Amino acid sequence: MTRKQPAASEVATRKSGPLRTVAELLAIVLVVMLAKASLAEPFYVPSGSMEPTLLIGDELLAIKFSYGYGTASLPSFIDLPMSKRIFASVPKRGDVVVFRWPGDRTQVWVKRVIGLPGDRIALRAGQVIINGVPVALRPDGTGTMETESGARIVARRFIETLPGGRVHPIFKLAADGPLDNMPEITVPPDHLFVMGDNRDDSADSRVPVREGGVGLLPMANLVGRVDMLVGSWDLAVRHQPIWTWPSGLRISRFFKAVH
């Protein structure tokens, strides 16, 4: 009795099975990479410079199509020279933005847009002055600021209203901090003036790049706009027994809008 030989098509199918699996995996990776480059990318917040808006341990989502695309839009582990953006648009004053830090483009930072190209920006006693007009600022009690070491500090809370009506909270630790006064500067074309909401604990456009700040941010460095959080975990619980770690999940901040 002779054994039936498999059809040529069956042999081809069996041999191509592993190759097909590899191709499918590569296709999935490519789709994920394209999505991260063109749609949105999650980032983790390691510092308190944007408190009380963003907390240490928040995971935010940077929407990349908001301001167009350039080499800064590529996944954060890819560092290529800056390029001009295509489909570019200027952020709105008050937007929370993710960007490549000019001092090291492998680092991704998050701040709030305060000044647009052509704006004249100054600070006096902690109050922002835009084009000669002081920004509205009203007291809003106190809040708790968390440091990177896990310490918690009581900070004064204010509500800032930018030109155009965008409203957001800020923290102030000192009445006259080292960054509370700045002579007027003009934001050059294709640049932004950005600040952290935690005004006494933020190396932002008030601080030159050579001193560890942002300086005037080139718009080519923009990654995207922050519209919402996707999750949050209180890092303070990492010093507790591992079975208590789930208690650090801040469920109320999951899918929370960012203003």
Token digits of residue 159: 């509500």
Q: Which of 111, 202, 205, 232 is catalytic?
A: 111
Cα 202 from chain centre:
14
Contact 98, 223 (CB under 8 A): yes
Q: Does 232 participate in catalysis according to the annotation?
A: no
Q: Does 111 participate in catalysis according to the annotation?
A: yes
Token digits of residue 201: 């604990």
Question: Measured in Å, how far apart are the chain's first and last C-alpha atoms?
Answer: 78
Q: Is 129 exposed, middle or buried (0-12, 13-18, 19+ CB in 10 A)?
A: middle
Q: Which residues make Cβ contacts (< 8 Å) with residue 38, sequence separation at least 6?
A: 64, 65, 69, 73
Q: Which of 49, 66, 202, 232 is catalytic?
A: 49
Token digits of residue 36: 């991260």
Q: Which residues pair with 121 in a beta bridge?
A: 130, 185
Cite the active site residues.
49, 111
